Amino acid sequence: AVWKIPEYGATPRNVHEIGVIGGGTMGSGIATSALLSGYRVTLVEMNEDAAGRAKQTIVKNLGGALKRGKISEEKMTALLENALSTAVGYAALASADVIIEAVFENMDLKKKIFAELDQLAKPGAILASNTSGLDIDEIAAVTSRPGDVIGLHFFSPAHVMRLLEVVVGAKTAPEVVATGFAMAKSMRKVPVRAGVCDGFIGNRILFHYLNAADKLVLEGAAPAAVDRAMQDFGFALGPFAVND
């Protein structure tokens, strides 16, 4: 049912090259997922050391895929040599079809990045934020192309977790939404269309779930007992183990 979206009839834009800003756990995971799905990836970091660390994380992620039999050694080598590049500075993203910002959750920083991307990204490039709950419309407002701005909220680890929140702003163009869903399909993700609100969907649910867990402890339950009950219910981890 999640595929039945209002923008169903819109034509997705062509995407061959994806830029990723930020090479931490999330950014490296997004880059890995994109590589495994056949996209060319340029990952941008603040300095050469950080870019080198990001590349090592991607190598480790691909090594995991190799161990699980998802790719061959030849394929892994080809991806690293031909499809991945790391760089310092946003200028390397000038030819990207989609640019995904994956820095930490700070609105001022994200707005600064999007204002710079607005100046250098090619016409028609999609500017996406991996924010887990910040206002996409506020981010889009610093650009001259709010129709090209969207939220693509991956869940960690991004190359493993299948959920992808596609966050649609007030001015996001229908074909940009359709492109987000097309990318999700190629990356074997389950996309869920979300509106702009605190925490979107996943984190909005999580907020109430964690509040309920805290209330149980305030009423006398041990954190370990709450975790055990939720694991017995079917969760991989209890709420306090997750927070830890």
Q: 17 forms bridges with which residues in the sheet?
A: 40
User: How far is Cα 215 from Cα 128, in angstroms, rounded to an integer?
Assistant: 36
Instruction: List the beta bridge partners of residue 152.
Output: 166
* DSSP-assigned letter for residue 83: I
DSSP label of 194 = E
Which DSSP state fits 65? H
Please give the positions annotated as active site.
153
**Structural contact between residues 124 and 13, judged by C-beta atoms closer than 8 angstroms:** yes
What is each CA distance from 58 to 61, 64, 146, 161, 217, in whole angstroms? 5, 10, 31, 16, 39
Rounded Cα gap, residues 205 and 226, in angstroms: 17
Question: Strand 126-129 and strand 163-167: pairing?
Answer: unpaired
Q: In what order do the strands lie in the sheet with 98-101?
A: 84-88, 40-45, 17-21, 98-101, 126-129, 149-154, 163-167, 190-194
